[in-house]
Structure 1
Amino acid sequence: MTTVEKDRTTRTEAAAIMPFGGWESTPTGPGSPDDETLFRFPAPDDPAPSTARVLTMALWGAGLGLTAAGVGVTALVTVFGGAAFWYVPTLALFGLLSVALAVAAFLSIHRPVLPWLLLAGATAPLALDVLIAALY
């Protein structure tokens, strides 16, 4: 192995203790036992995702973010007008769940279907936030 080549069989120590197959900064080659890793930061030699994929995911994420900002403004007005004790924690819980799922979608961008499932999953708690904010 030369100094330019990297050993592709190394695993980070954190991968053994992290959920969902672990996090890994240097993935191994295809057909390795680390193929079950769902979330990882891309390595320098990973193929870039297509522009259409990144653009679609970014637009979906931006839509989620703008919707969450609208819910936040509505919630702020409602809180100043007087709201029940459960209102803010409920909105915060669903909002944070939506953000966590959206982040997971971008970390799994190299998977074929998982990012789309996670973005759809991020839409559901945000839709509940919209309903709570609109109907309260």
Structure 2
Amino acid sequence: MSVDVSQRVKQLRRQLPDAFRLPTEADPRPANRQIAAVCAWAAALGLGGMAVALRAFVGLVAEYRGWYAPTVVTIGLLGLACTIGAFASVHRRRLPFALLGVASVSLLIGWIVTGL
């Protein structure tokens, strides 16, 4: 079983640098529609993130809860990292949208947590 896991780790190490790299001149240009869709989705996430950040600020000022700040920051950083990854992988077909989906789930979780 450990051999299978080590092979998967090796395969992942080979694939990740190709998935998350800036495109070169040799890469095909992404379609304008795909770039526009990624930008629009990221803009919507940014606006939603501002609303969650405002709620988080109010939650931080209102009362002290030791778990609150690290949880909100972790959720926000996860969403931000996925959104940045979507832009870095825009030359891929599905990866940017999968990452933006994870960022959307992160935003939804942030909205729920800040409402507590």
TM bucket (normalised to shorter chain) is 0.7 to 0.9
Within 5 Å, which residues of 2 pair with 1:9-88?
A: 19=13, 21=15, 23=17, 37-88=18-69
Residue 19 of structure 2 aligns to a residue in which SS?
A: coil
In structure 1, the residue corresponding to 2:15 is in which secondary structure? Answer: coil
Query: Match for 1:94: what amino acid?
Result: I
Contact 1:20 1:39 in 2 (8 A): no
Q: Unaligned 5+ residue runs, structure 1?
A: 1-18, 24-36
Asked if 1:132 is matched to 2:113, the reply is yes
Q: Does 1:100 align with 2:81?
A: yes
Q: Which amino acid aligns with 2:54?
A: V
CA RMSD, Structure 1 to Structure 2 (Å): 1.9
- The CA distance in 2 between the partners of 1:39 and 1:74, in whole Å, is 32
TM-score normalised over the length of structure 1: 0.70
Shift of 1:20: 5.5
Q: Determine the C-alpha separation between the residues in 1 that align with 2:51 and 2:62.
A: 17
1:22 positional shift = 5.1
Gaps of 5+ in 2: 1-12
Which stretches of structure 1, 4 residues or longer, exceed 4 Å deviation after superposition?
Answer: none
Asked which structure has the greater RCO (Cα within 8 Å, sep 6+), the reply is: 2
Distance in 2 separating the partners of 1:46 and 1:89: 39
Question: Which protein has the bigger helix share?
Answer: 2
Q: CA deviation at 1:21?
A: 2.9
Residue 42 of structure 1, CA deviation = 1.1
Deviation at 1:83, TM superposition (A): 3.3
Question: TM-score, length-normalised on structure 2?
Answer: 0.81
Rg larger in structure: 1
